[in-house]
Chain A
Amino acid sequence: MNRVFSLILFLFILTLWEVFCRVSNISSIIIPAPSAVGLILWDGLTQGYLWIHIWVTTLEMTLGLVIGCSFGVLSGLLLSESVFLKKILWPYILASQVIPKLALGPIFIIWFGFGMTSTVTITALICYFPLLENTLTGVHYIPREKRELFRMLGATRLQTLILLKIPHGLPTILAGVRVSVVLALVGAVVGEFLSGQVGLGATIIAAQGMMDSALMFAVFIIITFIGLAFYQITSIIERWLLRRHNAGVFNANF
């Protein structure tokens, strides 16, 4: 029932927007009518010129997400297991993360050139820290009794990591993945603003140059759908991975 109300609200806003554009005669450069946005979106998808941009942005986002998350989890596990390494490296990791990643964009363009490599690097860097932080937190807060149980059973450090710490920290790690998914899309699109020649971010910049606000809105819609699709896929994977954690507790409904 809630979904019906959501849909009614959406249609109401859309109608209001369309009526406003037609009645007020406001310039389509400032606010394009939903019908104009819908038309350009339809054309872009049916004639195919938007698909290459969708593909490139999705690919950059996926690569950045996978690389950033993998390094984030691995370094989180490494730092959680070595107090020495954590003490040595943590200040540098923190310092590197408080720098806005987009500010590094120009230097990446010098190093990697315009195109996918720079955007993927920015996206991966953005995705790295949430995973590092969540992995550290997830594997750190293990109840004392569980740690003592593993000591009693003669478990090695590796066994404790694999059989206790990682499964125990998995919900927290996966919460980090969900945050990273949203950030990855921001990273990919904004990365393309700086260095992209192809992709949805580059399309927005091109549309800006042509004062084509309708195209920009059409791209916003596509970006929203990509973000929602990635978030939904991540939630499904998360539910599958946590099916045992959640057995009998609740049916996760994100």
Chain B
Amino acid sequence: MNFVSIRDVSFAYKTDHAVIKDINWEIPKGEFHSLIGRSGCGKTTLLKVVAGLLTPTVGKISISNTYVSKPSLQTGFVFQAPTLLEWLSVLDNILLPLRINHEINSERIELGLEILSAVGLKDFSRHYPSELSGGQQSRVAIARALITKPVLLLMDEPFAALDAMTREELQIDLLNLCYRRGTTVLFITHDIAEAVYLSDNIALMHDGSIQKNFSINIAKPRGDKIRYQPEFNALCSNIHQTMQTFHSQNEIG
């Protein structure tokens, strides 16, 4: 069994209509997998099922040989919006998971400062979220998800609202951070180039099912320049065409 194993998973909010259907997906330890698809295809629902926020109607999910039945601190979650608590300082936001689980001590505060430094916000520990830019807030959200040293990081379009330059900076930092820590990541995006740049594997979701998998064999660590190489663009184009095909089939059907 792989590190993350999703077996025959379906989920329906109402009994007669499954939002996600028969999902099978294996993620080896330390790999970065992305899920792409159009809005409303069931990506976020699948992520919430993996997180334990929703219980699958059918099927099972295991993380590190443990079946998922409820949210766990083993799994970090980064939402689409930074979801920071406006009344807490940046450091207190990062330490929130530890505070809730009564694990605050001087060593953990040091760890918080260390992670803050790793995401490039060393000098912002006493600032409040409203004093930060959108990109900085996203960095805080990532730091908060990493403070509990999760074995799996789930990310739901965390950079969707950011400008192109900030997004690229954050992609580079995220990739380096996860590569150094050996964190397994399941990342949702609708940006094909983002998925190709970050991932070892991309699953294409359409109408609640995974339709196709793409293996990305670009060596790591990845520099910014690979975005402009023919191999990278060919992969993006291939995925884009496949998405178009599924969309057209759906319209004809």
The chain A residues found within 8 Å of chain B, CB to CB, are 143, 145-146, 148-155, 159, 163-164, 167-168, 170, 244-245, 247-249
Contacts and interface: CB of A to CB of B under 8 A. Distances in A.
Nearest to A245: B87
Interface in B89-134: 89, 96-97, 99-101, 127-128, 130-131
A234 B46 CA distance: 47
B85 A164 contact: yes
B53 A151 contact: yes
Contact of A248 (B72, B73, B88, B128): B128
Q: What 10 A-B pairs come out closest when comparing CB atoms?
A: A248-B131, A247-B128, A244-B87, A248-B130, A152-B71, A145-B79, A145-B83, A152-B77, A155-B100, A249-B130
Interface in B135-181: none
Contacts of B81: 145
Contacts of B131: 247-248
A146 B89 CA distance: 16
Nearest to A242: B87
A145 B128 CA distance: 19
A244 B79 contact: no
Contacts of A143: 83
A168 B96 CA distance: 15
Given A149-B77, A152-B77, A167 B85 contact: yes
B128 A148 contact: no
Contact of A159 (B86, B100, B130): B100
B5 interface: no
Nearest to A155: B100
B199 interface: no
B54 to A, nearest CB: 10
B128 A244 contact: yes
A211 to B, nearest CB: 55
A143 B80 CA distance: 13
17 contacts: A143-B83, A146-B85, A148-B53, A148-B77, A152-B71, A153-B71, A154-B71, A154-B100, A159-B100, A163-B85, A163-B100, A244-B86, A244-B87, A244-B88, A245-B87, A247-B130, A248-B128
